[in-house]
Amino acid sequence: MSGPSIFFEDVNERQGGFLRRTFLLGGFAGIGLTALTARLAYLQTLQTSRYRSMSAENQFNLRLIPPPRGLIKDRNGVVLAGNRPSFRLLVIRDETKDLDTTLDEVAQLLPATAARRRTLLREINQSPRFVPVAVATDLTWEEFARVNLHAPQLPGVMADVNEARFYPFGGAFAHVVGYVGKVTDRDVEKVKKSGKDVDPILMHPGFRIGKQGVESALDEELRGTPGVQRVEVDATGRQVGEDRDNGEPPQPGAEVVLTLDADIQMRALEVFGEESGAAVVMDIHNGDLLCLASSPSFDPNAFVGGIGSKLYRAYSEYDHKPLLDKALTGTYPAGSTFKTMVALAALESGISPHKTRSCGGAWRFGNHVFHCDKASGHGTVDMHKAIVTSCDVYFYQTALEMGPDIIAATARKFGINQIFDIGIGNQKKGVLPDRAWKKRAFRRPEDQIWYPGETPSFGIGQGALAVNPLQLCVMTARLANGRKALNPRLIKSIGGKERPAGSAVPDLPISADHIDIIRSAMADVANDVSGTAYRAAQLGLGPIKMAGKTGTAQAHSITSGASRATLHLEWERRDHAWFIAFAPYDAPRYAITVLVEHGGWGAGAAAPRAREIMRTTLLKDPAIIRRIQATGATVEAPPPIDDSEGSGLPEAPTLVGAQGRTAAE
Amino acid sequence: MTSSALTRPGQRERLPVKFSEIDWRLAGLTCVIAGVGAMMLYSVAGGNWEPWAAKHLLRFGACLLVMLSLALVDIRVWMTVAYPVYGVALLLLMAIEIPGVGYTALGATRWLNLGFTRIQPSEIMKLALVLALARYYHGASARDARFSWKLIIPLAMIGMPTLLVAHQPDLGTAMLLALTGLAVMFMAGLSWRIILTGLTAAAVAIPPFVMFVLHDYQRQRVLTFLEPEKDPSGSGYHIMQSLIAMGSGGLLGKGYGLGTQSQLNFLPEKQTDFIFATVAEEFGFIGCVTVLIVFGLIIATCLRIASLSHSHFGRLAAAGVTATFALYVLINGAMVMGLAPVVGVPMPLLSYGGTVMITVMIGFGLVQSVRVHRYMELPKGRGLF
């Protein structure tokens, strides 16, 4: 095969050169492989610990487990805010074949999801691919079973159970307990602004924080401590396994016990029916608030999952303002209930209770005629009679004699114009007018002067005066207690730790004798035939009787003094009805304040409701029951109050009939 | 069988004799690597033969048969087809450049659509270039190979396909082609003066080349490999995860099937380009060195075959295939270890993927053929025909 064309010299040279170069090529490859080995040695021996920890960081994630939220209970352990299991349907985008067809199939199982399709699509697309998004919550057992049956054929669809906040009493405690809602960007901003670290649990999908009332004020206590679980994840962050040995279980939030009594609160809401107003009941021994109700109310459960805009608009547009907490946030003129303060101020400033004034139904001061509620006049009245019959003329004159400052100072001692530290916010201070207030409140010098013509109105609790029902109840409680400047208490304990009682306060700087004079007058308001609330305030509990004071506060200015009855007017022009009371009148234990917004007048709308709430309160007290039984009296059925059909009490004012109307308030 | 028997005319042409001349050690070593590959593919699929391991073994079996068949092909046939194959491969590479003919995927036009299948002409070119250069040098004098104006011919043979492939763009393959070609030139006896001048020129030219000529994504790859931790979520991610996988393997590895980086998908391209990082994670330093030793033995065996050939064509062809193979191993190794940019060069026989396996095994078929026909002396002129 070898041909003559090959020059042997050339062949030998080429072959020799090739052999040398082969060794070199082999050498280069060897050097390359050695370099790789050296690099491997560096990575796999010297750097191992560093890369091991990085590998573990990759492999494991700390996952937060939301803690069960602390329960909120009433004083007897009745759950006001609890957690209930909620069946949910979740969709994991990453595991679906096609999100659109998956949602179609889900809509076949749960037709309700079809309507929210667009929202759902956006929500799912905004979440990370592997995070389950709740497509439907609060499934019924039947729906849950149906979903579970079909889920295996639907990739990316699963059903689970989580805890949802639940308010078993619906609206009864809505204003006090509040509600929880989704964590918004604004909530996170607020935490950041307060300088605190944002709890990572806030970012947990489905986590809820308190938005209102106790839920909001004690959110951190109720929230608990999230548990931590070390989970194995893959590169996309999807969980592939658990590390059961490491991690901590969640610590449930602290249990909050309120001083409220669910029975009393429910009774209050019941007697209000559709009427708008507020009821506050206090234990005058320790300041515990037994009832703090605002009517009409709203369903806090609707807010937990995110309230629909339609329902929210219905709530906010209804003229009875269900979202407003009328017990704390609403302020109203105190009306004649304030006469207790004016009388006490008179006694404190040295005016004799026996000093009489003459009431002719009206009284001219300057170029203004001030009317009394009883157009024919009360004749000669002293302090006792003035309170019992609620004579306006007596108080016009008495107030003018004292001037506004001393009245305001006395009222302030009784809690008017104060914000109480009861653990929840939203309290409005209102207005307690005096000379200093005018200086503060007005800019123009001529407005800053207190004109004598303003004093008579102030004397009957009108004018600029504005109070909230809680303040009036504290005032009543302090009158009833007689000694202590009692503070209200709403939060009984947090996590088993008792909060200081409202009675750990200094004494009232008021003479006990003077308070007695007011109290005996209040007793006659409810129990003397001439009293403004004589019929409406009968408890029917034998020796246990109430002492009280009615009030009718103008919600609009009266143009003519001819008629002050406003019941015939349209709702929002009617007067506000007040009733403040304590019982038993001889050994006070409970104080109550009832406001019926635009209720017409105190004795008609407010007093019967106060009586019913007070009856419930008294009948829950074993000491009171023993006292009734000791006298051999039987507990009478209460006068009919809410037997009118349907709406409960709107007709109530007619129950007191003509007798109430003749008495001036 | 005595050597005297083999010297009888025609004796070596008998198929059973040829078969016995096949280097079974080389065949065995390729089986070892492919077996390790299948084992790792089984592991990264979470302990499943599907979707990779079974296919990998099947393909390798087929490729092994191809290799053994090619081993029996007369060396003169190889020499004869060298230029035509190169010519066809070059034409196909050009055809890709015609709009509408090339098939584009992932932003690169690398494929030619034949209707029933797609072929990658650059893969054919890898072996075609080796064959063509060996064919050229077989006929050239030692002086032509060392230092002569005629060096323009092999340079053009390397340059044309390299530029065409780089334009696709496929930087990894282009680099591989150029380096393979240069390796053949080196083996053919290129003057050291030219080599040193060339290396100096390259050292000067590379930085501006990286800065101004490369595509954005290519530059990104080059720059991030230098500092992978700077951009851990972007293009540095591949390198970082690979380093974590290898480093966390330690001396003995995490254990077979227990590599968290690959099992949990942190390691990208774990079944193809980064399969070696999985070996490193699960079998540690010991496992890696074992695999590298096997690769080293393959290279050594091939070079020995090259050196034993009596024909210059056989020597250069075998050496060229060996250089290609060694470059695959070194570039992939350097890439997964963070010593080179991520260029998409797989680990031959270990990585999942048919194209490279076919190329490499056809190459080994050529090497085997060189061994089987090592005593055959070839005239300088044309081949068989």
Indicate if B199 and B259 belong to the same structural domain.
no
Is B138 contained in some domain?
A: yes
Token couple for A203: 């970012």
Indicate if B92 and B59 belong to the same structural domain.
no
Please report which confidence band the pLDDT of residue A561 belongs to, taking 50, 70 and 90 as the band edges: very low
Instruction: Tell me: pLDDT of A560 over 70.
Output: no
What's the domain count of chain B? 2
Indicate if B116 and B59 belong to the same structural domain.
no
Is B98 contained in some domain?
A: yes
Do the chains contact at B319 and A26, CB–CB below 8 Å?
Answer: no
User: Does the beta carbon of B49 lie under 8 angstroms from any beta carbon of chain A?
Assistant: no
Under 8 Å CB-to-CB from A350, ≥6 apart: which residues? none
- As a whole number, mean pLDDT of residues B40-50 equals 92
Do residues B43 and B282 lie in contact, with contact meaning Cβ atoms separated by under 8 Å?
yes
Largest CA distance in chain B: 68
Angle, helices B171-187/A8-41, rounded to nearest 10 degrees: 140
The per-residue pLDDT for range B144-162, each reduced to its tens digit, is 888 889 999 999 999 999 9
Do residues A170 and A266 lie in contact, with contact meaning Cβ atoms separated by under 8 Å?
no
Looking at residue A291, what is its pLDDT? 95
The per-residue pLDDT for range A497-542, each reduced to its tens digit, is 998 888 888 888 888 899 999 999 999 999 988 888 888 888 888 8
Residues of chain A contacting residue B276, judged by C-beta atoms under 8 Å apart? none
Do the chains contact at B187 and A18, CB–CB below 8 Å?
Answer: yes
Indicate if B150 and B241 belong to the same structural domain.
no
Is B350 contained in some domain?
A: yes
Indicate if B177 and B87 belong to the same structural domain.
yes
Indicate if B194 and B304 belong to the same structural domain.
no
Residue A360 backbone phi and psi in degrees, to 5: -110, 15
CA distance B136 to B118: 30
- As a whole number, mean pLDDT of residues A337-343 equals 95
Q: Which of B33, B195, B240, B248 to mutate to test the interface with A (most CBs of A within 10 A)?
A: B248
Rg (CA), chain A: 37
Instruction: Tell me: pLDDT of A199 over 90.
Output: no
Chain centroid to Cα A97, Å, comes to 45
Instruction: Tell me: pLDDT of A131 over 60.
Output: yes
How are the residues of chain B apportioned to helix, strand and coil, as percentages rounded to the nearest 5?
70, 5, 25
Going from the C-alpha of A360 to that of each of A149, A380, A461, A485, the distances in angstroms are 83, 9, 20, 38
User: Does the beta carbon of B13 lie under 8 angstroms from any beta carbon of chain A?
Assistant: no
Indicate if B149 and B58 belong to the same structural domain.
no
Under 8 Å CB-to-CB from A589, ≥6 apart: which residues? A283, A284, A285, A582, A583, A618, A621, A623, A624
Do the chains contact at A33 and B266, CB–CB below 8 Å?
Answer: no
> Residues 142..181 of B with a Cβ closer than 8 Å to A: which?
142, 145
Q: B292: nearest CA in chain A?
A: A33
In angstroms, the separation between the Cα of residue A15 and the nearest Cα of chain B is 7
Residue A501 backbone phi and psi in degrees, to 5: -70, 160
Residues of chain B contacting residue A46, judged by C-beta atoms under 8 Å apart? none
Q: Which of B244, B286, B376, B378 to mutate to test the interface with A (most CBs of A within 10 A)?
A: B244
Beta pairing class for A72-73 and A256-258: parallel
> Residues 237..276 of A with a Cβ closer than 8 Å to B: which?
240
Chain centroid to Cα B358, Å, comes to 10
Instruction: Tell me: pLDDT of B1 over 60.
Output: no
Residues of chain B contacting residue A10, judged by C-beta atoms under 8 Å apart? 141-142
| Average pLDDT over all residues of chain B | 88
Indicate if B88 and B137 belong to the same structural domain.
yes
The residue among B184, B213, B242 that closes a domain is B213
Indicate if B66 and B99 belong to the same structural domain.
no
The per-residue pLDDT for range B176-211, each reduced to its tens digit, is 999 999 999 999 999 999 999 999 998 998 888 877
> Which residue stretches of chain B are H helix?
3-6, 15-21, 24-44, 53-71, 75-97, 121-139, 142-146, 152-167, 171-187, 192-208, 216-226, 236-249, 260-263, 275-308, 312-336, 354-372
Sign of CA dihedral A348, A398, A400, A471: positive
Is B162 contained in some domain?
A: yes
Looking at residue A264, what is its pLDDT? 95
Do the chains contact at B247 and A32, CB–CB below 8 Å?
Answer: no
Do residues A254 and A280 lie in contact, with contact meaning Cβ atoms separated by under 8 Å?
no
User: Does the beta carbon of B380 lie under 8 angstroms from any beta carbon of chain A?
Assistant: yes
- The residue ranking higher by pLDDT, B38 or A92, is B38
Q: Other CB atoms closer than 10 Å to residue A338's CB: what's the count?
A: 30
CA distance B304 to B298: 10
User: Does the beta carbon of A436 lie under 8 angstroms from any beta carbon of chain B?
Assistant: no
Q: B285: nearest CA in chain A?
A: A44
Domains in chain A (CATH in brackets) are 62-256 (3.90.1310.10), 262-662 (3.40.710.10)
Do residues B121 and B170 lie in contact, with contact meaning Cβ atoms separated by under 8 Å?
no
Is B3 contained in some domain?
A: no
- As a whole number, mean pLDDT of residues A307-330 equals 87
DSSP type of residue B235: T
Residues of chain B contacting residue A45, judged by C-beta atoms under 8 Å apart? 250-251, 285
Instruction: Tell me: pLDDT of A239 over 90.
Output: no
CA distance A372 to A357: 13
Indicate if B261 and B304 belong to the same structural domain.
yes
User: Does the beta carbon of A46 lie under 8 angstroms from any beta carbon of chain B?
Assistant: no
* Terminal Cα-to-Cα distance of chain A (whole angstroms): 139
What share of chain B in percent tops pLDDT 90?
58
Q: B188: nearest CA in chain A?
A: A18
Please report which confidence band the pLDDT of residue A634 belongs to, taking 50, 70 and 90 as the band edges: low
- CB burial class (10 A; 0-12, 13-18, 19+) of residue B339? middle
Looking at residue A115, what is its pLDDT? 81
The H or E element containing residue A411 is: helix A404-413
Is B2 contained in some domain?
A: no
CA distance B314 to B19: 18
Segment of A96-110, A275-289, A628-642 carrying the highest mean pLDDT: A275-289
Do the chains contact at B264 and A59, CB–CB below 8 Å?
Answer: yes
Domain span at residue B368? 23-72+234-374
Token couple for A564: 């002050």
Query: Which of A446, A401, A456, A411 has its CA nearest to residue A432?
Result: A411
Is B358 contained in some domain?
A: yes
Indicate if B361 and B241 belong to the same structural domain.
yes
Please report which confidence band the pLDDT of residue A642 belongs to, taking 50, 70 and 90 as the band edges: very low
In angstroms, the separation between the Cα of residue B116 and the nearest Cα of chain A is 29
Instruction: Tell me: pLDDT of A563 over 70.
Output: no
CA distance A49 to A67: 35
Is B208 contained in some domain?
A: yes
> Residues 231..250 of B with a Cβ closer than 8 Å to A: which?
241, 243-250
- The residue ranking higher by pLDDT, B227 or A104, is A104
Point out the residue among B260, B265, B285 whose CB comes nearest to the CB of A44.
B285
Query: Which of A581, A333, A335, A597 has its CA nearest to residue A467?
Result: A333
- As a whole number, mean pLDDT of residues B256-260 equals 90
Q: A34: nearest CA in chain B?
A: B292
Residues of chain A contacting residue B381, judged by C-beta atoms under 8 Å apart? 3, 5
The per-residue pLDDT for range A400-443, each reduced to its tens digit, is 999 999 999 999 999 999 999 998 888 999 999 999 999 998 98
Looking at residue B4, what is its pLDDT? 53
The residue among B213, B243, B274 that closes a domain is B213
Q: B325: nearest CA in chain A?
A: A29
Indicate if B166 and B241 belong to the same structural domain.
no
**Is A345 strand, coil or helix?**
helix
Instruction: Tell me: pLDDT of B384 over 80.
Output: no
